[in-house]
Amino acid sequence: NVPFYIFAESYGGKMAAAISLELIKEVQLNQIKCHFAGVALGDSWISPLDSVLSWGPYLYSISLLDDQGLAEVNSYTARVQAAIEAGDYQKATELWSVTERVVEKNTDGVNFYNIMTKRTDSDSPQIMPLMKSSQLVSLYKHHISPLQSPSLDWLMNGPIRKKLKIIPDFVKWGGQSNEVFSNMEGDFMRPVINIIDKLLIANVNVTVYNGQLDLIVDTLGQELWVKKLKWPGLPTFSSLRWKPVYTPSKLSDTAAFYKQHQNFAFFWILKAGHMIPSDQEEMALKLLRMVTGQE
């Protein structure tokens, strides 16, 4: 009877959408007893092509690409689009990686997770060439390895295990990101907009939230796929004006904007990159409370 919510970020948001759809199906069939209250998708890889196609215009608008750089980036994103339209999703993943290198070269190493920072020298395009002998190794080092650290293993097998008090001694937390990434290469660039539509039609509460400073899944790209929804409530949602959101410690500063209609909500989180909880922790907590009906 306890309300159950799924919160996920990045590629996890894409997976969470699919998991939510399967869960609501089982709930409706009375196969699972669950008060499924909603899913929240943060900076999520819902429509890879929309994200990639928006990189050039987004970077150009904030003075991180000049005319020549914009033209080069757009030429590579067009190759990604061609591969997707041809149904070659594995090739699209490879070209996506190459396009990222082109972006870094033209922006002097912009950080895909927060445009206000730069990547370290070890990840710079001068050291990491456009194509490596192992494409997946390059992708893993570029996107997954920087987000992993021994402290995560310590956290999950230490304080979290102790706090939950339900994990058997023989069960250990482990990160299998490399293996997962390798096996998901052909799925990585597939969109799941249709799944969001199905969730909305099934009356599942869906919240999308995105960081203003994110590049890998920029807000511009998120807005593009939202406009493609077939959900009947979209026209009304689109016609609404957004509302500002403030956090308790900074009531004079706008922390975010949001709009909501029926069971769909969108939050524009300011001064945050790809990882909103670490960039704007107070706003992330307020978001959590708003989504779960505590505010």
Q: Which residues are catalytically annotated?
A: 10, 214, 274
Is the pLDDT score of 150 beyond 60?
no
| Token pair listed for 153 | 């293993």
Is the pLDDT score of 128 beyond 90?
no
- In this structure, the answer to whether residues 55 and 42 fall within a common structural domain is no
d(CA 2, CA 163): 19
Q: Where does the pLDDT of residue 175 fall: very low under 50, low under 70, confident under 90, or very high at 90 and above? A: confident
Q: Hey, what's the torsion of the CAs at 214, 215, 217, 223, to 10 degrees?
A: 90
- In this structure, the answer to whether residues 201 and 273 fall within a common structural domain is yes
Q: Where does the pLDDT of residue 134 fall: very low under 50, low under 70, confident under 90, or very high at 90 and above? A: low
H-assigned helices in the chain:
11-28, 48-61, 67-85, 89-107, 135-139, 150-155, 161-164, 177-183, 193-201, 219-226, 234-239, 276-279, 281-291
Cα torsion 234, 238, 240, 241: sign = positive
- In this structure, the answer to whether residues 81 and 58 fall within a common structural domain is yes
> Could you tell me if residue 106 is left (phi over 0), alpha (psi between -120 and 50 degrees) or otherwise beta?
alpha
Name the residue range of residue 122's domain. 49-147
Q: What is the pTM of this model?
A: 0.86
Q: How many domains does one find in the chain?
A: 2
| Token pair listed for 45 | 């890889």
- In this structure, the answer to whether residues 53 and 42 fall within a common structural domain is no
**Mean of the per-residue pLDDT values of the chain:** 90
For residue 132, what pLDDT is reported?
A: 43
CATH number of the domain encompassing residue 35: 3.40.50.1820
The domain boundary residue, chosen from 116, 147, 178: 147
Residue 259 belongs to some domain of the structure: yes
Strand pairing of 256-261 and 243-245?
Answer: antiparallel
For residue 151, what pLDDT is reported?
A: 73
**For range 255-268, the mean pLDDT:** 98
